[in-house]
Amino acid sequence: MSQMLDLSSPDGLSAVVDALAEKGWAVTRGLLPAETVARLREECLVAHRQGGFHVAGIGRGGDFTVREGIRSDEVMWLDASTATPTQRQYFERLDALQREINQGLYLGLFEFEGHFAIYDEGAYYKKHLDAFRGDKGRVVTVVYYLNPDWHLGDGGELRLYLDEKGETDFIDIEPTAGTAVIFLSERFWHEVLPSCKDRVSITGWYKVRPV
């Protein structure tokens, strides 16, 4: 992808802020070193084998509902207070990005919450918004991919619709290890196309303080 921003460079984070200001989304690489990405994947798979995952639903806490047919991934929420050193590295980078976004865009991002997600072969997530207008929770979505070998034909692309209605204009992003996609949660319709093999990621949201 030609518009891929490099977060390992010193001005990488500010380039994301500029992209969010100009178009509302960014596709990046280099948030963490490749070894750290590999360890995140391993921790995700171990937690999955140990039974730490549950079928994904829509909403969280009391609002949680499983709606058959919308999505078929499994998730495990991350907890900053019990995070492994590797997971803490991820949270630290996300903190740095949060500060940069708040300084540049005054979005008042307050916290990040996220989960590991595993899409088994055939799993998908139909077209949706992560937040609805007027819902003051999720403001910025960050999806981070942990799949070392992803090839054309493996499916599982993130289809990000660029037009307001989410109908005509889209880009497809492969879930390749180290790619992070960042976008305004209430602005962009998106979907995960059916995956032809296991697909591992961390999805999360920067949120504003609840009122």
User: Which positions lie near ligand OGA, rule CB under 6 A?
Assistant: 117, 125, 130, 143, 158, 190, 192, 201, 203
- Cβ closer to ligand OGA: 104 or 208? 208
Buried-state track 67-90, b at ≥16 Cβ within 10 A, e below 16: eeebbbbbbbebeeeeeeebbebb
When CB distances are held under 5 to 8 angstroms depending on the partner's kind, the choice from Mn ion, ligand OGA, none that residue 201 binds is ligand OGA
What minimum distance in Å lies between the beta carbon of 173 and ligand OGA? 7
Contacts of 54 (CB under 8 A, 6+ apart): 74, 75, 76
| The one segment of 4-12, 125-133, 155-163, 193-201 that binds Mn ion by CB under 5 A | 125-133
Interaction of residue 73 with Mn ion, rule CB under 5 A = no
Identify the CA nearest to 67 among candidates 110, 19, 128: 128
Regarding 130 and contact with Mn ion (CB under 5 A), the answer is: yes
- Give the number of residues in contact with Mn ion, rule: CB under 5 A: 1
Looking at residue 148, its amino acid is: P
Which one, 11 or 164, has the nearer CB to Mn ion? 164
Least separation in angstroms between CB 19 and ligand OGA:
18
- Pick the closer one to Mn ion by CB: 73 or 130: 130
C-alpha pair distances (Å), 55 with each of 52, 126, 190: 11, 15, 20
d(CA 84, CA 119): 23
Binding site for Mn ion (CB under 5 A): 130
